[in-house]
Structures are given as C-alpha cells and as structure tokens.
Amino acid sequence: MKTVRYIKEIRDILSSYREEGKTIGLVPTMGALHDGHLSLIHQCMANDSITVVSIFINPTQFNDEKDFRMYPRNTEKDLELLKKNECHIVFLPPEKEMYPTKEIRKFDFGSLDKHMEGEFRPGHFNGVAQIVTKLFSIIEPDHAYFGEKDFQQLTIIKAIVRQLNLPVQIISCPIIREPDGLAMSSRNPLLTASERISATKIPEALFKIKELTDKMGINELKEFLWNEIDLDPNLRTEYVEIVEETGLNPVNNWDEPGSKRACIAVKVGSIRLIDNIKIS
C-alpha cells in the first residue's frame, strides 16, 4: 500500500497505471473508517484495477466549527485497516495541498439542496462539491464510490457529474448497518452508552413505517415516525421527509410517480445522525 500526500506524486503514480490500461477507482472518505467504508472499498476492488482511498476532513463542508473540531480523527488506525484490506493507494493530503488559496467556487444544485440537509446545514453541499470536484480532478477516477446513507449527498454528486460532464461513473453502495440496525457512521463512537441504545430507535422506526405505507397517508406517516423517535428523551428529530429519489422532491401522496425514500436527521444528545430507507 502506498501512502501519498501530494498531488503531483499521486498524479504521476496514477498516470503510469493508466498507461498500463488499468482502471482507477476512488473511495473518498474523511477517515474514522468503519465497515461501511470497507464495503465501498471492497466494491471498488472488485470493479477496478487500482483502488484509491482518500482521507481528508474537508473544512469547507462544516457549517459548525465545533462539529469540525469534534469530528473523529484516527489516521494511524485508518492506515492499519486499509493496509489489512489490501488497499492500493491512500491519498492523505494536508489542508494546504487541497486549498492552497481560499476556495470561492459556488455551485447551483437547483432544488436538490433546498430542504433536509441543505436547510439544516447551510453551505454544506457547496463544500462537498468543492472537495469532490477537486478529488475528481486530481485522481481522474473511472469510478467513484459513495454510500446511500448520505442519500442527498449522493444525489447531488450525481447531478454535479452530469452538470459538469465529468468523465467519472458514480457507483452507489447500500447502507451498512450494525447488528442492531443502526446505520454505520464515524460519529457513532461519540455516543455515550445510553445514547447508543437510544439511537437504535431511529432504524426501528424507519423499518416500521415500511409496513404502514398501505395504512397511512404521507403526512400521517411522517408524524408517526417523528413521534416514535421523540418518545425517547435522548432523541430530538430535526426533520422527517419522504422524497422522490431522483429529484429529491417531497412527496405529498403515494400515487405520485417515482421511487420513494424516507429520510431523517436526529440529534442523539449532542451527536447528529442521519438515516434513510427506500419505501417504494
């Protein structure tokens, strides 16, 4: 496994692989790796000749300085895990390498960022777009792998690729859950023992609503989900939305066309978790 910190070096390495006809896959991460990340890496390794995992905690996508400072960091453990899983290249750039000057680019996502995460984390998706497009420019991957847990982010990244005609295929990978159903997240280890128990109410409520779509209307189902979660004093729901998957437009009734997904954000103590489930 090669660990590379600088753009010129990784470009030179990847150029030689391309000359050999090898395909490049990219798994962008912010570190604090877990089995969810490993599922993306294994999918990449199955599809591409060379797997590149980037580790960079991107400051421009945090609208809360405290959240940025609290974000878990364990680079040594991450590198050990990647080596054990036979990753080919780790791109671990310092901040000055990725942002040598102040980043000023602005992106237009249409209606995709106007609710859910976009409402509660203003500027977040612009920061995501800044770093993802930088990584695509540096790595020039054939494929890039993203998890469905961040479903709104995944949809926006696909839109960016179409909008900018970027020569990369986005591969979406399913949510990986703990044995008790909680979606794997780098933030899960920040939960206290009691908060960790409470957090399982999030997937329990999501799974429950799948069985209720033929018994309840959209608004009734959203209210049910909200109330189910907020019964626990450790939990405070920020939003519940049922959206059409392609355009992320909120759905008003079940007869509307397109596949539908329930999305939720919940504060568990001071830790914010998101989750979603496909419901039709």
Is 143 considered catalytic here?
no
The 10 Å CB-count burial string (b at 16+, else e) for 33-50 is: bbebbbbbbbbbbeebeb
| 46, two tokens | 């199955």
Q: Residue 92: name the closest of 31, 22, 17 by CA.
A: 31
Helices 201-210 and 218-230: crossing angle, nearest 10°? 160
- Give the three-class secondary structure for 65: helix
Q: Give the Å distances, CA to CA, from 241 to 39, 113, 174, 212, 265.
A: 27, 13, 19, 15, 9
Q: Residue 76: name the closest of 169, 3, 185 by CA.
A: 3
How wide is the angle at C-alpha 117 spanned by C-alphas 81 and 42, nearest 5°?
25
Catalytic residue among 34, 37, 115, 124: 37
d(CA 85, CA 1): 10
| 203, two tokens | 């997937």
Give the CA dihedral 33, 14, 160, 280, nearest 10 degrees: -50
Report, as residue numbers or ranges, the catalytic residues: 37
